[in-house]
Amino acid sequence: MSNSHDHNTMNLSLNNVNVGYKRKPVITNINLPTVIPGSLVAVIGSNAVGKSTLLKSLAGQLKYEGDILFHGHSLSAMTHRQRMERIGYLPQTLPQATTLIAYELVYSACRAGCEQLTNSEVEERIEAIFERLGIRDLALMKMQEMSGGQRQMIGLAQVLVRQTNLLLLDEPTSALDLHWQLNVLQTIREETHANNAIAFVASHDLNLSLRFCDQLLILANGKVLAMGSPEQVLTPENLRNAYGIEGRIESCSKGFPIVLTDRACA
Amino acid sequence: MNTAININSETSSLASLYRGFVFKRQLLLLLLLLAVALCFLFDISNGPANLSLWQVIKGLFNPDSLASSTRVIIWDVRMPYALMAVVVGACLGLGGAEMQTVLNNPLASPFTLGVGSAATLGASVVIALDLSGLGISYTYLLPLSAFVFASGASLLILMLSRSLGASAQTVLLFGIALMFGLNAIVGLLQFIVDAGALQQIVFWTMGSLARASMEKVAIVGCIFVLCFIFSIKQIWSLTALRSGEQQALSLGINVERLRLTVLLRVSLLTAVALAFVGEIGFIGLIGPHIARMLLGEDHRFFLPGSAIAGALLLSLSSIATKTLLPGVIIPVGIVTALVGIPLFISLIFRRAHEQ
């Protein structure tokens, strides 16, 4: 990250971004301080607050007003191919349970998403990502024989295999058990830092976000409630405003901050 | 993902394990092709004047070694019939497979969603209005009109599944309603036309290979090859679409455009295939299911597999038309319906169990 300021074309910024569905505004007037490369940002907030909407607009899948600048380019001015080269988006829905085998799913993501790779490059990437996520034994299984959590892992492999600069992951651990939650977030963190990428991870798990993410972006009422380091922004007041709960942030015996929730506000 | 690739030497790489899968599938495709070739030969050897397989093979590769009557039977009578079964079956199999993928519906096929009925109506209209005065040969006019009507039906189905976010079952019910409606209009046309046109329309609705000719085979064959080439261009997008619409969108696939082009292609395949042989049901439904069971859903294998399975099914049906009742050739549409309906019902049951 030391050289990131020299590469000020590699960052992401949002100015006055508005997004809505059929005139019903979901996100209003969002401004984000510039996100520098090598940042893992957790997007948190209550249900229907616009987390997915924000990620979808960053992915170029929703029309928005305002400016989203990535690599110094306006997202809306990028060609389809440019977007594909830069952005990897994991939707909330799991890959379908079909007779496709996992290897083919990831292969098709490479072939449909980054056409310029040679066969051996694709094979190397797939090998590496299955190894990295620890799901080598799933590679030749049919999707319909897998559990929801296993399919979620394959979906994640589909995104990570493309090695994009911007990762937009919508609840990537929603179907995973504790072991895989830790494994996945650890992997995302390492990949993001190693590749000097930017990752936005929408999540409901505050403790995981605290533990793994560099920054938290808290949304409330379609606006940014707070953004900054977890220690700065995760306060009882913000918890109350974002979720309507009474909560505390304490230190565990190992010194990590943890969120304790007491009750829902009346 | 700068992680060094570190594969244990005792375990082989995923790529080489996967290549084992690919090899098995290529082998299965080859076996299916071989089965089609065998059926094709049987189809030619079968008929009122029974020929041996050996005679057929000799007749194909060295026609001059046979009596001229045998040669005529093989080349002029049975060949177009048998070839037509293969190319029409391939068209319907390919069309059905693509339709099932883009509508994400395993019960979709040109027949079950009424696209076949629309093609029938398109052809019936030409026959009923007696458009021979236009100066265009029926060989071209029938498929053209069938295509226009089939495309209309496909677009209606597309609109429904888009605008209502309709489930597989809803789309199927809509297709069945469409089929009934279109069949009623065809019935009305049958009621008002004269005897000659009536006979032609009835022939159409039954589905028969009897009017095959080499020219028609060539037209259907060319359209199949053309459509298949375009399918290959979209083969990875189609495979990626099987992981889900959201996943495909996130890979940058323009799903809406993909659906539209595929459904137009399916309409063309259906219309041209059915233009010369009439309504033949269930091939486009069952063919893809056989391919999916044997080859999985990687479209590099699934699409050719469905086409070959379709060709195999119709070729088998064609043999059945000549052997079921001695001395009588049953319209092939009746055979495919008799075999197809129980299979279709079993698919519905299996789906119900899965849910």
Spell out which residues of chain A touch residue B104, defining contact as CB-CB under 8 Å: 96
Q: Which of B10, B243, B257 to mutate to test the interface with A (most CBs of A within 10 A)?
A: B243
Q: Which residues of B touch A94 (CB under 8 A)?
A: 244
User: Each residue of B29-59: pLDDT tens digit?
Assistant: 999 999 999 999 999 998 887 788 888 888 8
Do B1 and A125 count as a contact with CB atoms less than 8 A apart? yes
Distance from CA of A265 to the nearest CA of B (A): 36
A176 — contact with chain B (CB < 8 Å)?
A: no
Q: Which of B1, B7, B249 is opposite residue A61, by nearest beta carbon? A: B249
Judge whether B97 and B288 are in contact, CB under 8 Å. Answer: yes
Q: How far is the C-alpha of B247 from the C-alpha of A163, rounded, in Å?
A: 16
Q: Is the pLDDT of residue B171 over 60?
A: yes
Token pair of B354 as six digits: 């899965």
- Tens of pLDDT, residue by residue over A111-128, are 886 667 888 999 999 999
Has residue A219 got a pLDDT over 50?
A: yes
Q: Looking at CA atoms only, how far is residue A217 from chain B in angstroms?
A: 23
pLDDT at B43: 93
Average pLDDT over every residue of B180-208: 88
Please give the residue that has the higher pLDDT: either B127 or B166: B127
Q: Which of A80, A92, A128 sits opposite B252 (nearest CB)?
A: A80
Is a pLDDT exceeding 80 seen at residue B241?
yes
Amino acid identity of residue B294, one-letter, is L
Choose from B6, B245, B246 for mutation: most chain A CBs within 10 A. Answer: B246
**pLDDT at residue A112, as a whole number:** 82
What residues 36-65 of chain A have any CB closer than 8 A to a CB of chain B? 59, 61
pLDDT at B344: 81
Cβ neighbours, 10 Å, residue A176: 21
- According to DSSP, the residues that pair with A220 across neighbouring strands are A223
Indicate the residue of B3, B14, B236 with minimum beta-carbon distance to A112. B236
Which contacts qualify for B31-36: CB closer than 8 Å, 24 or more apart? Answer: B32/B294, B32/B305, B32/B308, B32/B309, B32/B312, B33/B308, B35/B312, B36/B86, B36/B308, B36/B311, B36/B312, B36/B315
* Other beta carbons within 10 Å of B26: 13
Nearest-5° Cα angle at A91, A134 to B15: 35
Mean pLDDT of A186-212: 93
pTM for the model stands at: 0.88
- pLDDT tens per residue across span A35-67: 889 999 999 999 989 999 999 999 988 889 888
Contact A129, B2 (CB under 8 A): no
ipTM score here? 0.87
Minimal CA separation from B201 to chain A, in Å: 41
> Cα B89 from chain centroid?
5
Q: Is B242 in Cβ contact with A100 (below 8 Å)? A: yes
Does the pLDDT value for residue A133 go beyond 80?
yes
Spell out a b/e string for B99-108, using b for 16 or more CB atoms within 10 Å of the CB, else e: bbbbbbbbbb
Contact B269, B95 (CB under 8 A): yes
pLDDT band for B355, please (50, 70, 90 cuts).
low
Q: What is the 3-state secondary structure (H, E, C) of chain B?
A: CCCCCCCCCCCCCHHHHHHHHHHHHHHHHHHHHHHHHHHHHHHHHCCCCCCCHHHHHHHHHCHHHCCHHHHHHHHHHHHHHHHHHHHHHHHHHHHHHHHHHHCCCCCCCCCCCCHHHHHHHHHHHHHHHCHHHHCCCHHHHHHHHHHHHHHHHHHHHHHHHHHCCCCHHHHHHHHHHHHHHHHHHHHHHHHHCCHHHHHHHHHHHHCCCCCCCHHHHHHHHHHHHHHHHHHHHCHHHHHHHCCCHHHHHHCCCCHHHHHHHHHHHHHHHHHHHHHHHCCCCCHHHHHHHHHHHHHCCCHHHHHHHHHHHHHHHHHHHHHHHHHCCCCCCCCHHHHHHHHHHHHHHHHHHHHHHHC
Average pLDDT, integer, range B307-315? 96
| Chain B residues inside the 8 Å CB shell of A143 | 243
Q: How far is residue A23 from each of residues A53, A58, A63, measured CA to CA in Å?
A: 14, 19, 11
Give me the pLDDT at residue B167, please. Answer: 66
Question: Smallest Cβ distance to A100: which of B7, B248, B296?
Answer: B296
Task: Give A49's contacts (C-beta < 8 A, 6+ positions apart).
Answer: A219, A220, A221, A222, A242
Burial class, B294, CB count within 10 angstroms (exposed 0-12 / middle 13-18 / buried 19+): middle
Share of chain B above pLDDT 70, in %: 95
Nearest to A108 among B7, B239, B254 (CB): B239
pLDDT for A241 beyond 90: yes
Cβ neighbours of A152 in B, within 8 Å: none
Q: A129: which chain B residues are within 8 Å (Cβ-Cβ)?
A: 1
Q: Do B240 and A163 lie within an 8 Å CB cutoff?
A: no
Contacting residues of A for B7, CB less than 8 Å apart:
127, 131
Do the Cβ atoms of A101 and B248 come within 8 Å? no
Tell me the pLDDT tens digit for each residue of B91-133.
999 999 999 999 888 888 998 888 989 999 998 998 888 877 7
